[in-house]
Structure 1
Amino acid sequence: MEFSKFSDKQLRDLLQKIPAELKKREGRERAKALEETKAFAKSRGFSLEELVGGESKPSRSRGVVPVKYRHPKDSSLAWTGRGRKPKWVEAWLNGGGKIESLVI
């Protein structure tokens, strides 16, 4: 295809139409592949859901992390020591307090 013979408008139109056409083709190919896969599974005596939608392994639950730091005056303020320091810890440290004084 000789693009130099196209006008600017024609080239811009092509730029708009090409992605849409590619997306349509991809959708048709995906649907075709899905139907072929379902037919193959059925020929083996399974549904596609039985083969790929089966039960997944249960995720390992994480245990509760115990609180490591507590505010000395307000016991409702607690921190496990993981992640970002809470504002109350930052305020305590900025006020001259030591992290060791918050350890439970």
Structure 2
Amino acid sequence: MNFDLENMSLKELRDLHKAVGRQIDGFEARKREQALTAAQKAAEEHGFSLKDLLASGKAPKAAVAPKYANPDNTSETWTGRGRQPRWVKDHLTAGGTVDDLLIQ
């Protein structure tokens, strides 16, 4: 197909632009569908469904039990992982130790 873009009106150019956009979207949808079909076929060849494979990614992380509690407010706890909460920092600044905050 040859288009004389230089001699097309603005309306013709915009119509062509819209048509090209629709074709691109359709092409991408077809390619996505082909890839999905190929992935499903490959999964079935190995005895799985694609849904099973996608759902069986990483196992969810188990919750870690809190190790430390704020003596002034026992509902505030910390596992000992990650950043120290402000109440831990305040306790350490006041001269206490992390062992003082251990949950018994």
Q: Could you tell me the TM-score, scaled by structure 1's length?
A: 0.51
Residue in 1 that maps onto 2:25: 23
Query: Which ranges in structure 2 are unaligned for 5 or more consecutive residues?
Result: 71-84, 87-104
Partner Cα distance (2:69, 2:17) in 1: 58
Aligned residues with identical type, % of pairs: 26
Partner Cα distance (1:27, 1:39) in 2: 18
Residue in 1 that maps onto 2:51: 49
Give the Å deviation of 1:4: 0.9
Give the Å deviation of 1:38: 0.5
Partner Cα distance (1:9, 1:30) in 2: 32
Please list the CA deviations of residues 21-60 of structure 1 after superposition, one character each: whole Å capped at 9, or x if unmatched.
2111111110111011111111122211222221532246
Alignment coverage as a number of residue pairs = 74
Partner Cα distance (1:48, 1:61) in 2: 28
Q: Could you tell me the TM-score, scaled by structure 2's length?
A: 0.51
Partner Cα distance (1:66, 1:22) in 2: 58
Q: Secondary structure at the match of 2:58?
A: coil
The structure where strand makes up a greater share of residues is 2
Give the counterpart letter for 2:29 in structure 1.
Answer: G
Give the counterpart letter for 1:31 in structure 2.
Answer: E
Partner Cα distance (1:24, 1:42) in 2: 27
Partner Cα distance (1:22, 1:53) in 2: 31
